[in-house]
A and B are shown apart, each in its own frame.
Chain A
Amino acid sequence: MLKDKIILSYTGFENNHSTEIDTEFHAKRVRAMQQFEKVGFPTKEIEEWKYTSLKNLLKTDFTLLTASESDIDTKKVKPFLLKGIESYKLVFLDGVFQPQVSVTSHEGLDICILSSAISKPKYNIVLNHYFNTIASQKDGLTSLNTAFTQEGVFIHIPKSVVVDRPIEILYLTSGSEKEVLVQPRNLVIVDENAYVQIVERHQSLTSQKVFTNSVTELFAHKRAIVEWYKVQNDNLQASMIDSTYISQKEQSVVSMFTFSFGGDLVRNNLHVYHEGEHITSNLNGISMLHGTQHVDHQTNIYHQQPHCESHELYKGIFDEQSTGVFNGKVIVSKEAQKTDAYQQNDNILLTDDATINAKPQLEIFADDVKCSHGCTVGQLDKNALFYMRQRGIPAKEAKALLLYAFTDQVVNRIKIPALKIWITDTISKKLGVELEIEV
């Protein structure tokens, strides 16, 4: 079994990292491993995993990725990066940082990698203060990631710094000959009044199965503004579980975007903790699936302070035998008066073999709040289709136009023009038409 294999390989991993044995960091790792041993992988019996089964995925004999020496050239990386704009770049191949294709910075801010932060004593305080503080201590998959924390992104934007260009994070897997399990770990701290845009992407370059178990911790301090775009357009052999934990302080604004186009099984866990007043959280998502793809969006927003807002907008288009899951949870504790929480989840099923399971959930303990959610499942408007065909637009294009319009509400919220173009292109490619849409 995969679980036993992982537990066994932990000893080997420990030996490689014996230098840090006395650190607090190491202690966190050991605790996480104990937790994983206890709970293991989630099963369908757990309410949050009711509609997503890892059973088939876990049957594969994954090998924990060991650092390889291979490096990659610019040419191969280019298709996965934004075109025509300047950006900071953090590129990893099989868990190893690729400096030759990356653009990092230590000038007034830290855009670098976690392994160097772990090894440098000057970052110790920061690491101990932030690392693994908001990530779940109970969840099996997150604990597994924590136990094997080795490499990932470390970004620290100091007070009042506005990052002049987006930061692109790219995880590539070439995975020699074997099926591999990759576990990137990201830590991002955005201080007071700072502003940053991040684009994150995971890409498999192999035809072997790849299982990514990624964990991110994001801290947005007072009045910080963070935009985070997760682009998931991997090949159909790649599966990913992405857990993102976000802590927001007062008046901060965090906007998360999740674009799920590719991948075999994709699961997105978003946890947003409000730790101050007047916070705004925006969660947006587009899922466009075909084949037997399965995408599961889990959003958890914990409203713990008064006067906070959260807005969720998730759109899903499901073709062929694909399955979509949306489980949005909004928890308003009794201190969180004047909360304004809105959640919208719209879905279109294109075939009778596609499935959508939605569960928009509200748990409210405060009385003076405005909380609502809406969830729809429907199909294209026949009258609109007829109207367009009447005017000479072929059925395929007419359908594509309507579907594009359906996603437009989310696309329009993208603040990076280059990314907007890329997303529009991807959507039209997925729809099988050329849409000349001005961005």
Chain B
Amino acid sequence: MKKYTENELEQDLKTKEYEYGFYTDIEADKFPPGLNEAVVIAISKKKNEPQWMTDWRLEAYRIWEKMTEPDWANVHYVKPRFNEISYYSAPKKKPELESLDQVDPELLKTFAKLGISMDEQKRLSGVAMDIVIDSVSVATTFKKTLEERGIIFCPISEAIQKYPDLVKKYMGSVVPKTDNFYAALNSAVFSDGSFCYIPKGVRSPVELSTYFRINEGGTGQFERTLLIADEDSYVSYLEGCTAPQRDENQLHAAVVELIALDGAEIKYSTVQNWFPGDAEGKGGVYNFVTKRAIAHHNAKISWTQVETGSAITWKYPSCILKGDNSIGEFYSIAVTNHFQQADTGTKMIHLGNNTKSTIISKGISAGKSQNSYRGLVRVGKNAQNARNFSQCDSLLMGNQCGAHTFPYIETKNASAQVEHEATTSKIGEDQLFYCNQRGIDTEKAIALIVNGFSKEVLNKLPMEFAVEAQKLLEISLEGSVG
């Protein structure tokens, strides 16, 4: 067997460029860069929004203006200049289509390059996709199947028009405009996103899915997702993201709000593969996302995420366990390579009685990257019998990267049971040797071991995603030997 030397690996690692770095040439309707009240009003107008929505945005903008960017996260970057970002961009030809055939062929090609053939997705996996390219929803499939069951799954801009009561009631109820700098910014300028409502007692027959892509150069992407699961309903929601290769840093500040009413269950899975910047640390996406869920009585929220992309990740999908017997789960794999920096984790706020939460976080850092887990487990004074288990494992490859853990545990109730454990290690030489001995080359062996390391989380992903995620892990880590 030809010996794969460390130098070769390093070389491989360096030359490993972003596979999805291409740029779709669709004419875009784009605002000039800059942000002020006029721009906010213009965005609202562009989307034909009712007055209450415009007011809501303006209020958020005024709040945002007074805020400063947070800098407590363990990441270092050149702060985005908010005046040089264009806050709206939509593909010019907005097709209103029933089937895929009518979709702009350029777009279809984009998806083909991404490795998601829509037809295949449609036929084989039964996934209904609400595809978002540069903020405007282009195609929605399976709508009819969903409609039969009373499930609403549409772009949020449409929901504002069609279901203003639901939007008014829930938008901003989990992530208020005042929550943080990026949430306020998003509230002011959000372009589009997905809206989903599962009626009482309905089990969504298919896994709902959205693909986000940041496409137009210099466009900030401000997605807004609102997912409401009414009493005793169930939904599994998938979100996948990739962005083409661009040199300037792109800003992404999304807000995701999940509401699980009594007895409902939401499973939210993300695979994030945005452009991480090249081997020199140039470019890449800034990902500042606020994701939060509220669980009422007997409800269950499950976040699963595979984070392999973005130059900077700042993301803490959280659960507010408000109702009695509610359950929150967080499964995460975060992989950083080259100059990527990730500060990610979760917050579990136990408020109701008999609430349970589980946190499994796996961090893998290679190259010159920094990978941090930052989590909070808070047990309120009146939350009897709260139970939490957290586990954060980090894997380091090479001595130029870093792995950090910042778990916050705040307990105010005597009946709480909170456990936290964390480990940091590297891939064992004996494990590698064992694999080599049996004819598996180092590269493959690492993939194998990393897969095993991440298995607890990968297992939680829906089938369609698990395969893609596994592939992503391999791509991101190719050639990193510890």
Contacts and interface: CB of A to CB of B under 8 A. Distances in A.
Interface of A: 47, 334, 337, 347, 349-379
A373 B400 CA distance: 22
Given A365-B402, A367-B399, A376 B410 contact: no
A364 B415 contact: no
Contacts of A334: 399-400
A334 B410 CA distance: 31
A362 B375 CA distance: 13
* Residue of A47, A350, A353, A371 with most partner-chain B CB within 10 A: A371
B412 interface: yes
Contact of A363 (B379, B402, B413, B423): B402
A348 to B, nearest CB: 8
Nearest to B418: A377
B96 interface: no
Contacts of A363: 402, 404-405
A282 B277 CA distance: 42
Contact of A367 (B397, B404, B412, B413): B397
Interface of B: 72, 379, 381-382, 394, 396-426, 482
Given A361-B405, A374-B421, A368 B412 contact: no
Contact of A359 (B379, B408, B413, B423): B408
Given A349-B411, A357-B409, A363-B402, A377 B424 contact: no
A299 to B, nearest CB: 15
A359 B378 CA distance: 12
A372 B421 contact: yes
A374 B393 CA distance: 12
Contact of A375 (B404, B409, B415, B417): B409
Given A334-B400, A357-B408, A377-B409, A362 B424 contact: yes
Contact of A364 (B402, B416, B419, B420): B402
B425 A375 contact: no
A327 to B, nearest CB: 9
A337 B396 CA distance: 12
A350 to B, nearest CB: 6
A14 to B, nearest CB: 38
Contacts of A350: 414
A361 B398 CA distance: 21
Contacts of B401: 365, 367
Nearest to B423: A372
Contacts of A353: 381, 412
Nearest to A332: B424
A391 to B, nearest CB: 25
Contact of A349 (B400, B416, B426): B416
Across the A-B interface, the 8 shortest Cβ-Cβ residue pairs: A367-B396, A377-B418, A349-B414, A375-B420, A358-B409, A371-B424, A372-B423, A362-B405
B331 to A, nearest CB: 20
A361 B406 contact: yes
Contact of A374 (B398, B413, B420): B420
A370 B397 CA distance: 13
Nearest to B426: A367
A377 B417 contact: yes
A353 B415 CA distance: 11
A437 to B, nearest CB: 25
Given A368-B426, A376-B420, A360 B407 contact: yes
Given A337-B399, A365-B399, A373-B405, 20 more contacts: A354-B412, A356-B409, A357-B408, A357-B411, A359-B409, A361-B404, A362-B394, A362-B404, A362-B405, A362-B422, A364-B404, A366-B399, A369-B396, A369-B424, A371-B424, A375-B420, A376-B419, A376-B420, A377-B379, A379-B417
Contact of B417 (A352, A355, A373, A378): A378
Q: From DSSP, what is the main secondary structure of chain B's interface residues?
A: strand
Contacts of A352: 381-382, 412-415
B293 to A, nearest CB: 23
A379 B414 contact: yes
Contacts of A373: 405, 420-422
Contacts of B423: 371-372
Contacts of A362: 394, 403-405, 422, 424
B420 A360 contact: yes
Contact of A370 (B404, B411, B414, B425): B425
A360 B401 CA distance: 20
21 contacts: A352-B382, A352-B412, A352-B413, A352-B414, A357-B411, A358-B410, A358-B411, A360-B420, A363-B404, A365-B402, A366-B396, A368-B482, A369-B425, A371-B425, A372-B422, A373-B422, A375-B409, A377-B411, A377-B416, A377-B418, A379-B415
A347 B416 CA distance: 11
A298 B422 CA distance: 18
Given A362-B403, A372-B423, A355 B414 contact: no
A378 B418 contact: yes
Given A372-B421, A374-B421, A378-B417, A364 B410 contact: no
A358 B401 CA distance: 26
B421 A375 contact: yes
Contacts of A364: 394, 396, 402-404, 424
A355 B404 contact: no
A319 to B, nearest CB: 9
Contacts of B420: 358, 360, 373-376
A375 B422 CA distance: 9
A354 B72 CA distance: 28
A122 B399 CA distance: 46
Contacts of A359: 406-409
A371 B396 CA distance: 11
A122 B236 CA distance: 77
Nearest to A361: B406
Contacts of A356: 409-411
A373 to B, nearest CB: 5
Contact of B482 (A47, A367, A374): A367
A361 B415 CA distance: 25
Contacts of A374: 419-422
A43 to B, nearest CB: 15
Contact of A355 (B407, B412, B425): B412
A47 B411 CA distance: 18
B410 A357 contact: yes
Nearest to A51: B410
Nearest to B372: A363
Contacts of B400: 334
Contacts of A375: 407, 409, 418-421
A178 to B, nearest CB: 36
A269 to B, nearest CB: 18
Contacts of A357: 408-411
A378 B397 CA distance: 35
A347 B398 CA distance: 35
Contacts of A370: 424-425
Contacts of A355: 410-412
A340 to B, nearest CB: 11
Contacts of B416: 349, 377-378
B424 A349 contact: no
B409 A367 contact: no
A370 B396 CA distance: 11
A372 B411 CA distance: 22
Contacts of A347: 411
A367 B398 contact: yes
B280 to A, nearest CB: 20
A360 B422 contact: yes
A364 B400 CA distance: 10
A288 to B, nearest CB: 15
Nearest to B379: A377
A353 B380 CA distance: 10
Contacts of B422: 360, 362, 372-374
